[in-house]
Amino acid sequence: MMLAMDKNKLIGKEGGMPWHIPGEMAYFKSVTMGKPVVMGRKTYDSIGKPLPGRPNLVVTRNAEWSADGVQVYTSLDLAIAGAVEYYDLQASNSDNSTIAHNTAEHTTEPPEVMIIGGAGLCREAMPVTQRIYLTHIDHAYEGDIWFDSFEWNDWQIVSRKDNELDGLKFTYFVLERAA
């Protein structure tokens, strides 16, 4: 999972983000690039176009919904299966060719399926989530969507990077399930 939240777990405002933090999108891009990104339909609408360089998988209950450059699924389970299939295809392509197609296969990390929000989809994905890339912004914003499925006590900190920009403090956490 990858999300950014404020000190009250706020993540959204009126269909968009409550803040603009220069550099935060670049960090999001660096973590997710080359990996399948799974998102709720409202999060897709808030972005408005497919994220380049990543398979975009959108979950909606509306079987009629479509958008150019994205794969559409009617359940989270089907979307995760679609993301796994993507990695299977990458692996079989690289078996048949000397050309490397995916950065993930060159790391010692297992391939990651990235759930990128919003709150609705995260609620359902939380039980199967093993790692969270969580940006914590040390400020209280106004908004209307919260990362309410997240509990600090369920997670241990693998790494953290503290940042400060114009007096605003924010931290990039990597969290894994507490034992």
**Binding residues for ligand NAP (CB under 6 A):** 3-4, 11-12, 15-17, 39-43, 46, 59-62, 65, 74-76, 116-121, 124, 145
SS3 (DSSP) at 143: coil
- Identify which of residues 46 and 163 has a Cβ nearer to ligand NAP in the complex: 46
Cβ count near 57 (within 10 Å): 26
What are the angstrom distances between the C-alpha of 31 and each of 2, 99, 163?
Answer: 9, 22, 17
The nearest distance, CB 33 to ligand NAP, in angstroms, is: 16
CA dist 62 and 102 (Å) reads 31
Residue 12: name the closest of 141, 102, 114 by CA.
Answer: 141
Structure letter (DSSP) for residue 51: P
Instruction: Give the DSSP H or E segment for 40.
Output: strand 37-40
User: In one letter, which amino acid is 122?
Assistant: C
The nearest distance, CB 167 to ligand NAP, in angstroms, is: 20
Task: State the residue for tokens 């010692």.
Answer: 108
The nearest distance, CB 164 to ligand NAP, in angstroms, is: 19
- Identify which of residues 35 and 41 has a Cβ nearer to ligand NAP in the complex: 41
- Identify which of residues 82 and 90 has a Cβ nearer to ligand NAP in the complex: 82
Residue with smallest beta-carbon separation from ligand NAP: 118
The nearest distance, CB 71 to ligand NAP, in angstroms, is: 13
The nearest distance, CB 172 to ligand NAP, in angstroms, is: 12
- Identify which of residues 94 and 123 has a Cβ nearer to ligand NAP in the complex: 123
- Identify which of residues 49 and 101 has a Cβ nearer to ligand NAP in the complex: 49
In 48-158, which residue ranges form alpha helices assigned H by DSSP? 76-95, 119-125
